[in-house]
Amino acid sequence: MTSRISRISEHRSSDSPAPSRRTVVKAAAATAALAPLAAAPDAHAADGPAFHHGVASGDPLPDGVLLWTRVTPVPEAVPGSGKGPDTEVRWEVAEDKGFTRVVSRGSLTARAAADHTVKADVRGLSPATAYYFRFSAGGSEGGGTPVHSPVGRTRTTPAHEASAPGVRFGVVSCANWEAGYFSAYRHLAARTELDAVLHIGDYIYEYRSGEYPAAEYGVRQHEPRHEIVSLADYRVRHGVHKTDPDAQAMHAAHPLIAIWDDHEFADNTWSGGAVNHSEETEGGWAQRMAAAKQAYFEWMPVRPSTEGTVYRRLRFGKLADLHLLDLRSFRSEQAGFGSGDVDDPDRTITGRAQLDWLKAGLASSDASWKLVGTSVMISPVAFGSVPAHLLKPIAELLGLPEEGLAINGDQWDGYTDDRKELISHLVDKAIRNTVFLTGDIHMAWANDVPVRAATYPASPSAATEFVVTSVTSDNVDDLLHVAPHTLSLVAVGAVKAANRHVKWLDMDSHGYGVLDVTAERSQMDYYVLSDRKDPGATSEWARSYRTLSGTQKVERAYSPVR
């Protein structure tokens, strides 16, 4: 996120001290969400091997899916330690959660060199089918009882040429461990109809404990306590996140499709550095980025490309192609605020190869919908006359100077030539039904993506964009330490007045989205949490927006998809 702080069915349906009351409530809620996928009683054995970090699946295909876990072979083999022996880990995929109809099995070796994480890229499965999976370790042909992991549930995608009736994703972004509890994950885990969860970035944050937010506003502490820089550091931070019961519930319930943003590395990452990185005190940037990427691919159920990036494409029958972007590995350094360099054609947010890949994929797609996962907002934003008392927190969230210049240098606003080229491509090639799915800025938006923002709506829209708010990371109210909706209404009005392509904006809430796609429309249902600091937080529907096939415009929908 662009802060200036030196900084989850077979069937579709509706919607070391003693533990504190809060911890008990949270554990109970997570257990309820995972009831159909109950962990084996030995999944968290006191001595090794054990599966303390749950299970996950990701990057589903018509014939397969990526399965993930981390085994702790001996108690001292904690994440990032480099300790512990090589350990055989066996996996099974079944049609039923009792594993009476196993359809595939195999084994892998968990090694300290990969932090004892393992991934099984399982193939030979049937399209559009739910499966159950688990891992085991220990025991042998000579005797002994194996230790089983929790049971996970996953789902393959429709066959590439199938006419899928619909696809539904949970959509999340920006989960800061210290800022709140991951209740959004718990609520997504409880939904049995999702095909996958799309995580748009900032799955972890790199900051030292007490930095963002300040210690007095946090609910729990990062591990390690210092800012993460080394491979061991990043492994520890990922490992802590995989112990969260809500995260474990989400990962066990649905396949994850994830991309990274800056905080998987450091604040405002670009190809050669980051705002929150000092070569003098934290070493070389290339080494830090390599460490962060290695830990990410070890700990996340993501299938990396040969270039070690996350840009890739997944298909959901002829209904939707999902193009996933990496907007950190190849971008130029962010331009200074107010600088004309934002229009420099030599500057890029995607890199030439990725932009060409995206353009070619969009032009050649025969899917009804072209979905694009972009970690930062592509819609242009100008701020006009936002009141001074609100400009500072908005500027802090969006990376703007307090004076309110119209450029958000970390988003597509700071790389206008790439955006112009992509939008021109959509127009010139008559590419319809492109929907950008975005996170990053801790606010929820529903936007048209205009060809020329200055003359919109007289000029057309080339695409639409749905932006989800944060799971926990600070929004405007959190930065000001005021009750929700006490100050933002005026600012929302000012932003919409200056940006007529913005149809809705929520600066106050934390939560998640549910994107439902059919041949007729793509609809985002926005859900908000009652309190990010309450581990038992409730969730309620707030708003829905949709784009109808062929329109390239966002309109309000007055009920969530059931």
- Structural domain containing residue 92: 39-150
Q: Could you tell me if residue 307 is inside a domain?
A: yes
376 plus 457 within the same structural domain? yes
Tell me, yes or no, whether 340 and 220 share the same domain: yes
Q: How buried is 18 (Cβ within 10 angstroms: 0-12 exposed, 13-18 middle, 19+ buried)?
A: exposed
Same domain as 142, residue 173: no
Q: Is 371 exposed, middle or buried (0-12, 13-18, 19+ CB in 10 A)?
A: buried
Q: Can you tell me the distance from the alpha carbon of 237 to that of 234, in angstroms, rounded to the nearest whole number?
A: 5
* Burial (CB count <10 Å: 0-12, 13-18, 19+), residue 101: exposed
The per-residue pLDDT for 113 is: 98
Beta bridge partner(s), residue 441: none
Map residue 221 onto helix, strand or coil.
coil
CB 138 within 8 A of CB 163: no
Same domain, 86 and 201: no
Q: How many domains does the chain have?
A: 2
176 and 62 in a common domain? no
Q: Examine the domain organization and report whether 139 and 186 are in the same domain.
A: no
What pTM does this model have?
A: 0.90
Instruction: Write phi, then psi, for 394 (nearest 5 degrees).
Output: -65, -45
CATH number at 63 reads 2.60.40.380
Mean pLDDT by 10 residues, the chain (562 residues): 34 34 33 43 64 98 98 97 97 98 98 98 98 93 81 98 96 98 98 98 98 96 98 98 98 98 98 95 97 98 87 98 98 82 91 97 98 97 67 66 58 94 98 98 97 91 98 92 80 88 96 98 98 97 98 97 90
Could you tell me the CA-to-CA distances from 502 to 172, 212, 446 in Å, in that order? 20, 29, 6
Give the pLDDT of residue 242: 98
Task: Return the CATH number at 553.
Answer: 3.60.21.70
For residues 244 and 387, state if they share a domain: yes
CA–CA distance, 71 with 107 (Å, rounded to integer): 13
Look at residue 491 in the predicted model and tell me its pLDDT. Answer: 83
487 and 531 in a single domain? The answer is yes
Q: Tell whether 160 is covered by a domain.
A: no
